[in-house]
C-alpha cells in the first residue's frame, strides 16, 4: 500500500468509535490512514466522540485528516472503505423492540427473535438505500458492514446491489480471542470449523497445529473453577451482568454438546430461564445500554472540557481487531482467514444457495472466499434451517413491503409460539414504531 487509505465510518458518533480507532492505531504500519470521515445524524454525539478521536489521531497518526459530518454524501464519495455501524431508530427503538415481546411472553432481545425481526424491519430499508448510494456515487468502494442484524442486512444488500461488501460480527472473534487466552496461544493459531448463521453458529472443531482441541478443552473445563475462566475477560467486562450470564450459559451448552456455540444460542437452549429473568428484571437491556452510553459520553465531555485526563472508556477491542484486520486483508491482498457473513455457494449444502451464512473465508483484494464446511450436525441442523427460513421471509417482506409475508416470517421463528402471538407482536411494533414501519401493507 503506497499511500494511506480514505476511510469513513457511518455511525461515527457511537461510543464504540474510539475503540475502533485504537484498532487503526495499532495497525497503522500496514493499514495507514490519510483521511478519516466520521458521519452521524446525531451532531452532539458526533462532536463529543469526534473530539476524542481527534485527540487520538494527533498523538498517534498526525498525518491523518479527520472530518466530522452529518452529510452521508461526504462519507461515501472518494472513500476506499466505508465502515457502517449505524443503529436505525437509536437505543430508544431498541427498547421498543425488546419490551414488546416480553409483554407477550416471548424473549425480548436485540437481534434474536422478535427483537431482531423488528430491527431488521427498520434497518434493511436504510441499508439498501445506503448501498444504492454507494453504487451510484462510489462503486469502487468497499462497504464493511457491522450494522445488525448483520446476516439479514447482508442478504438484503446481496439481493438488491452489486457493490463490494462484507458483513461481519465480532462474536466469532470473541470466541477465538478468549479461547486463545485460555490456552495461552496466539488466537490466530486456532482454526475454527465454524458453521451456521449470524448469531446462530457453532464451532464444531477447533484446530491447533492440526489437532482438534475441543474434546480436551471440554474435559479441562469440567475441572476448572469458573472464576479462572471469567478472569480471561477482565473485571470491567464482567461487571456487566449480561456478559457474565452469556459466558456461563455458553459453557453450559459446550459441556452438554461438545461444540462451542455463539453466546446467542442461550436464547434457544435456556428460553424459559432467560424469559423469567427478563420479566423479573422489569428492565430491558436497551435501558441498561442507554445508561452506559450516557455515562461514557459524559466522561468524554469532561475530557473535552479539560476536567479529566484523556482516555477511551468503551470496550470493543474485538470489534476493532476484526474490522481493521478485515480491511487490511482486502487493502493488502493478504488472504487471511476471517469468519464472515457471505452468500452460500456450497459452503453449507443443507442451506439454500445464496443464503447468507456465517463461515470461515479467505479474504483478499477480491473479497471473501468462503470455505466448504460440509454437512451440519443433525442435532442443530433443524434449528438453523428454521431460522434460515425466517430470515429469508423477513428480507422478502421488507423488500416487497408486505405485511402478510412479515407475519409469516415472524410466525416461523422458533422463539415465537404461535401465529396469533406473532400477529399481536407485529401489530404492536407497527403501532409503536410508526412511520418507520408504515411501508408494510
240-290 pLDDT tens trace = 777 788 888 999 999 999 999 999 999 999 999 999 999 999 999 999 999
Give the list of residues 6+ apart from residue 115 with CB closer than 8 angstroms, or none: 94, 97, 98, 101, 107, 108, 109
What's the length of the chain? 441
Cell numbers representing residue 168 in the block: 461481519
- Tell me, what's the pLDDT at 179? 87
> What is the DSSP code (8-state) at residue 360?
E
Is residue 17 within 8 Å of residue 38, measured between CB atoms? yes
- Tell me, what's the pLDDT at 80? 98
Q: Whole-angstrom Cα distance, residue 313 to residue 304?
A: 14
Cell numbers representing residue 288 in the block: 441498561
Q: What is the DSSP string of 13-52?
A: TSTTHHHHHHHHHHTTTTS-EEEEEEE-S-HHHHHHHHHH
Helices (H), 61-184: 72-76, 90-103, 114-137, 150-160, 171-183
- Tell me, what's the pLDDT at 429? 98
Give the list of residues 6+ apart from residue 34 with CB closer than 8 angstroms, or none: 3, 4, 5, 6, 63, 64, 65
Angle at 296 between CA 290 and CA 302, to 5 degrees: 135
199-243 pLDDT tens trace = 999 999 999 999 999 999 999 888 887 777 766 565 555 667 777
The helix (H) or strand (E) run that includes residue 234 is none
Q: Whole-angstrom Cα distance, residue 312 to residue 15?
A: 9
Q: Which of 212, 271, 266, 273 is nearest to 243 (CA)?
A: 266
Cell numbers representing residue 15 in the block: 461510543
Q: Whole-angstrom Cα distance, residue 269 to residue 245?
A: 13
Q: How far is CA 257 from CA 87, 158, 185, 207, 214, in A?
A: 34, 33, 24, 17, 11
The catalytic position among 146, 264, 390, 429 is: 264
Active site (annotated) includes residue 264: yes
Cell numbers representing residue 236 in the block: 470491567
Q: Whole-angstrom Cα distance, residue 70 to residue 397?
A: 30
- Tell me, what's the pLDDT at 261? 95
Q: What is the mean pLDDT of each run of 10 residues along the chain (441 residues)?
A: 87 92 92 97 95 91 97 98 97 98 98 98 98 98 96 98 95 86 88 97 96 93 76 61 84 93 96 96 95 90 81 59 90 96 97 97 97 97 98 98 98 98 98 97 95
Is residue 430 within 8 Å of residue 437, measured between CB atoms? yes
For residue 149, cis peptide bond before it (omega within 30 degrees of 0): yes
Amino acid at each position: 500500500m503506497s499511500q494511506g487509505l480514505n476511510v469513513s465510518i457511518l455511525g461515527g458518533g457511537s461510543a464504540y468509535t474510539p475503540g475502533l480507532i485504537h484498532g487503526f492505531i495499532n495497525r497503522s504500519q500496514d493499514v495507514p490512514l490519510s483521511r478519516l470521515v466520521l458521519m452521524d445524524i446525531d451532531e452532539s454525539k458526533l462532536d463529543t466522540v469526534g473530539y476524542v478521536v481527534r485527540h487520538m489521531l494527533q498523538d498517534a497518526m498526525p498525518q491523518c485528516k479527520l472530518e466530522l459530518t452529518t452529510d452521508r454524501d461526504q462519507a461515501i464519495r472518494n472513500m476506499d472503505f466505508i465502515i457502517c455501524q449505524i443503529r436505525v431508530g437509536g437505543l430508544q427503538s431498541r427498547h421498543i423492540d425488546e419490551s414488546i415481546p416480553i409483554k407477550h411472553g416471548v424473549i425480548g432481545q436485540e437481534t434474536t427473535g422478535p427483537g431482531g425481526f423488528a430491527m431488521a424491519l427498520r434497518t434493511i430499508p436504510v441499508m439498501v438505500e445506503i448501498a444504492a448510494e454507494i453504487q451510484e456515487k462510489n462503486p469502487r468502494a468497499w462497504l464493511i458492514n457491522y450494522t445488525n442484524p448483520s446476516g439479514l442486512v447482508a442478504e438484503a444488500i446481496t439481493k438488491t446491489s452489486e457493490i463490494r461488501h462484507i458483513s461481519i460480527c465480532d462474536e466469532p472473534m470473541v470466541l477465538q480471542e478468549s479461547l486463545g487466552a485460555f490456552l495461552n496461544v496466539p488466537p490466530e493459531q486456532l482454526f475454527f470449523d465454524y458453521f451456521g448463521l449470524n448469531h446462530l453458529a457453532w464451532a464444531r472443531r477447533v484446530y491447533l497445529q492440526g489437532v482438534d482441541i475441543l474434546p480436551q478443552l471440554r474435559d479441562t473445563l469440567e475441572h476448572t473453577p469458573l472464576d479462572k475462566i471469567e478472569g480471561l475477560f477482565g473485571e470491567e467486562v464482567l461487571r456487566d451482568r449480561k456478559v457474565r450470564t452469556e459466558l456461563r450459559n455458553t459453557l453450559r451448552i459446550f459441556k452438554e454438546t461438545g461444540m462451542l456455540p455463539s453466546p446467542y444460542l442461550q436464547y434457544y437452549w435456556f428460553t424459559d430461564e432467560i424469559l423469567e429473568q427478563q420479566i423479573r428484571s422489569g428492565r430491558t437491556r436497551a435501558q441498561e445500554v442507554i445508561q452506559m452510553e450516557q455515562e461514557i459520553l459524559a466522561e468524554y465531555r469532561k475530557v473535552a472540557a479539560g476536567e479529566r485526563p484523556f482516555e477511551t472508556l468503551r470496550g470493543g477491542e474485538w470489534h476493532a481487531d476484526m474490522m481493521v484486520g478485515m480491511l487490511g486483508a482486502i487493502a493488502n491482498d493478504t488472504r487471511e482467514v476471517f469468519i464472515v457473513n457471505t452468500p452460500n455457494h456450497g459452503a453449507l449444502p443443507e442451506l439454500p444457495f445464496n443464503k447468507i451464512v456465517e463461515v470461515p473465508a479467505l479474504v483478499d483484494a477480491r473479497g471473501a472466499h468462503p470455505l466448504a464446511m460440509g454437512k451440519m450436525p443433525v442435532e442443530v441442523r433443524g434449528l438453523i434451517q428454521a431460522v434460515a427460513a425466517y430470515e429469508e421471509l423477513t428480507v422478502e417482506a421488507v423488500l416487497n413491503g408486505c405485511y402478510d409475508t412479515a407475519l409469516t416470517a415472524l410466525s416461523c421463528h422458533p422463539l415465537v409460539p404461535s401465529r396469533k402471538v406473532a400477529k399481536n407482536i407485529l401489530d404492536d411494533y407497527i403501532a409503536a414504531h410508526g412511520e418507520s414501519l408504515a411501508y408494510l401493507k
